[in-house]
Structure 1
Amino acid sequence: MKILVTVDGSDISSRALKFALKLAKQSTAASSVTVLHVDPPVFPGVERRIGKEAVQAYHADNHAHVFKTARKALGRSQVAVEEVAATGEIAETILAVAAKRKVDLLVMGSHGRSAVKGVLLGSVSSKVIAQTTIPVTVVR
């Protein structure tokens, strides 16, 4: 079973990662977990002002921080785990990575660190669920 779990450094995404690892361990087939962090792009014009290298360093720092938090949640897991860092619109990038990797299940937190949250589900979770045919498990 190929599982893609999205992380953003929040407690909910850590719970989603732990849940994905538990599913992978319980699976009778060989399982792998891909841990994905998508950093949203900077506002238009920022790269022109601060430079391409500064923007790349900014994204690299964000990815490093989130993966450091995710590694704590991984603990001593015996499941094959791969980290993937991407930059782009969050829901669209999650869907693209899931399709490219042909995952069997997508696991994500109900809402993350975004400023705008839905009543029950975050806007990213809602978009992903509405636009994919891959099974999605939302962890609260």
Structure 2
Amino acid sequence: MKILLPVDGSDSTTKVLEYLATHEELFSKAHQYTVLYVTPAVPPQVKRMLPREDIEGYYQQEIEKVIAPIRAQLQERGFEVSFKGLVGRAPDVISQLATSEGYDMLIMGSHGHSALGNLILGSVVTNVMANTSTPVLVIR
């Protein structure tokens, strides 16, 4: 099975990793896992003022800050995982990648906002579920 793990480095990410490690009957190490972190794009006003190399370097630093500890945790647990760092609006990037690369499942952590919080702030999980036909397992 080809599984996409969108992460943000929060406690929700930790819960997803713990869930994978403690449910080997469902998520064996034989599956193909991809960890995805999506960093928000720099505002256009800032992009115009800085050299492209500086912006690209910033994106790489932000991506590595989140992915490095996750890489270490998964390697320690014996998982072979590929990693992707992309730039954009997280729900859009996740949904598009899940569809375009043919993932069988997404496993995402939920921050557990209330219904009112989701209404006001929105939710990455809610947006992804609304915009992809790929099954989504939400860990809370």
Cα deviation 1:42-61 (Å, max 9, x = unaligned): 11221111221111111100
Counterpart for residue 137 of structure 1: 137
Counterpart for residue 95 of structure 2: 95
For the residue of structure 2 that corresponds to 1:45, the secondary structure is: helix
Partners of 1:107 and 1:138 within 8 A in 2: yes
Which runs of no fewer than 5 residues in structure 1 stay unpaired?
none
Counterpart for residue 3 of structure 2: 3
Gap change, CA 1:3 and 1:22, over 3 Å in 2: farther
Separation of aligned partners in 2, 1:104 and 1:13: 20
Partners of 1:8 and 1:66 within 8 A in 2: yes
Counterpart for residue 118 of structure 1: 118
Separation of aligned partners in 2, 1:5 and 1:87: 16
Counterpart for residue 78 of structure 2: 78
Q: CA deviation at 1:13?
A: 1.2
> Amino acid of the residue matched to residue 60 of structure 1?
Q
Counterpart for residue 46 of structure 1: 46
Q: Percent identity?
A: 35
TM-score by length of 1: 0.83
> Amino acid of the residue matched to residue 49 of structure 1?
M
Cα deviation 1:50-91 (Å, max 9, x = unaligned): 221111111100111001121243152333210011111111
Partners of 2:12 and 2:109 within 8 A in 1: yes
Gap change, CA 1:27 and 1:6, over 3 Å in 2: closer
Q: CA deviation at 1:118?
A: 2.2
Separation of aligned partners in 1, 2:78 and 2:35: 15
